[in-house]
């Protein structure tokens, strides 16, 4: 396979064909650390969409553009390591991956008290946003 590779000639632009290089959006979830810009400061951030337990069935269908927009307008950025790790491990629902707006968003499933079902110390507050209790699940 290496014999099929072609670097190009220095006297023409055959070496400057950028279409052959694999490209990835550096904000793409699950992208290897080596492919993210080295100047990027801070922890990994993901977009999460608060979804209440009674809406859980909606995760099993491909959302319409209107539904996807409604979800996306509620999206929040999360950098808390324990929460990010758990959500990334669960992944983006298959049907959300088919939506341009939701393909990089993770559902944050909440109970009737606005608490995350995976860790009751993480709570969504209408005024303050996402509140982390003293004991976060690692």
Tokens, residue 87: 């959500």
Q: What percent of the chain has pLDDT over 70?
A: 68
pLDDT digits (tens, 9 = 90+) for 74-120: 999 999 999 999 999 999 999 999 999 999 999 999 999 999 999 99
C-alpha distances (whole Å) from 2 to each of 6, 7, 94 are 9, 11, 36
Tokens, residue 38: 């080295």
Q: Are 82 and 130 in contact (CB under 8 A)?
A: no
Domain spans in the chain, listed from the N-terminal domain onward: 41-132
pLDDT digits (tens, 9 = 90+) for 1-15: 556 566 666 677 766
Q: Hey, how many other C-beta atoms are within 10 angstroms of the C-beta on 51?
A: 19
């Amino acid at each position: 396979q290496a014999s099929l590779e072609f670097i190009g000639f220095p006297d023409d632009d055959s070496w400057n064909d950028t279409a052959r290089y694999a490209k990835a959006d550096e904000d793409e979830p699950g992208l290897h650390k080596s492919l993210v810009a080295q100047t990027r400061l801070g922890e990994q951030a993901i977009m999460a969409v608060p979804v209440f337990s009674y809406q859980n069935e909606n995760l099993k269908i491909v959302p319409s553009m209107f539904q996807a927009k409604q979800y996306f307008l509620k999206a929040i950025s999360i950098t808390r390591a324990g929460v990010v790790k758990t959500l990334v491990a669960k992944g983006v629902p298959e049907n959300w991956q088919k939506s341009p707006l939701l393909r990089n968003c993770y559902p944050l499933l909440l109970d009737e008290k606005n608490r995350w079902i995976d860790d009751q110390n993480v709570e969504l507050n209408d005024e303050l946003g996402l509140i982390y209790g003293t004991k976060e699940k690692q």
